[in-house]
C-alpha cells in the first residue's frame, strides 16, 4: 500500500523547527531557576549547554534534538548567553553517546515522560473485536456496531466505564440515570 504525506515538508518545518525570530526565541528558550538548578549539576560548559538545549527542545517545539542536529546559531547563542559561555561549547557536546543518552533519560524522568506502551494505544481490544477511541472533537459515541469513528470501523460499543471516562475528559456532565 502506498504511503501518502499528510503534511508537506514546509508544514513540518514550521511545526518542528525552532523559531529564528528574536522575540519568539526569547519566549520559548528562556530558562527558569529550576532549569538552572538541573543544568548546574552537569560537568563542563559543553555538557551544561547540551543538557540545556535538549531540555528546551523537549519543552518546545516538543521533540528531541537529533544526535547530529545543530540548533540554529541564534537559538544556541541565546541559550549560551544565559550561562555566560561561548556557543562554541556546543561543538564539544555529544562526543560520547552515553552522555547524551544519560541526559535524555534524566530529562524524561524529571519531566514525567515515559515510553509509549500497550496501555497508551488508541485501540482497545475486547474479547471479540477491536474498538478505537474517538477523538475529543467527536462528541458522541458510535451507537451501532456498524458505524465508523474517525474512519476506522467499529465492531463493538464501548464499555460503560470507558464512556464515563470519555464524558469526564470532554467535560460533558455524566448523567448517572442514563443507561449505557
Q: Residue 174: pLDDT above 60?
A: no
**Cα separation of 118 and 95, whole Å?**
34
More confident residue, 143 or 8: 8
In which band, very low, low, confident or very high, does the pLDDT at 121 lie, cut at 50, 70 and 90? low
In which band, very low, low, confident or very high, does the pLDDT at 122 lie, cut at 50, 70 and 90? low
User: Mean pLDDT, the chain, as a whole number?
Assistant: 76
In which band, very low, low, confident or very high, does the pLDDT at 173 lie, cut at 50, 70 and 90? low
DSSP 139-162: -S---STT-EETTEE--SPPPHHH
DSSP 28-39: HS---HHHHHHH
Average pLDDT for 26-34: 94
Question: Which of these, 123, 49, 43, lies nearest to 82 by C-alpha position?
Answer: 49
Amino acid at each position: 500500500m502506498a504511503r501518502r504525506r499528510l503534511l508537506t515538508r514546509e508544514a513540518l518545518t514550521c511545526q518542528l523547527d525552532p523559531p529564528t525570530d528574536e522575540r519568539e526565541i526569547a519566549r520559548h528558550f528562556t530558562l527558569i531557576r529550576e532549569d538552572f538548578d538541573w543544568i548546574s549539576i552537569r560537568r563542563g560548559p559543553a555538557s551544561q549547554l547540551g543538557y540545556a538545549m535538549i531540555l528546551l527542545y523537549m519543552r518546545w517545539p516538543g521533540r528531541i534534538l537529533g544526535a547530529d542536529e545543530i540548533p540554529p546559531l541564534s537559538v544556541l547563542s541565546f541559550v549560551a548567553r544565559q550561562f555566560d559561555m561561548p556557543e562554541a561549547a556546543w561543538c564539544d557536546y555529544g562526543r560520547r553517546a552515553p552522555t547524551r543518552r544519560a541526559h535524555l533519560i534524566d530529562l524524561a524522568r524529571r519531566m514525567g515522560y515515559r515510553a509509549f506502551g500497550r496501555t497508551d494505544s488508541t485501540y482497545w481490544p475486547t474479547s471479540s473485536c477491536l474498538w478505537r477511541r474517538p477523538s475529543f472533537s467527536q462528541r458522541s459515541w458510535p451507537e451501532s456496531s456498524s458505524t465508523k469513528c474517525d474512519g476506522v470501523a467499529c465492531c463493538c460499543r464501548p464499555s460503560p466505564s470507558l464512556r464515563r471516562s470519555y464524558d469526564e475528559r470532554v467535560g460533558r456532565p455524566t448523567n448517572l440515570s442514563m443507561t449505557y
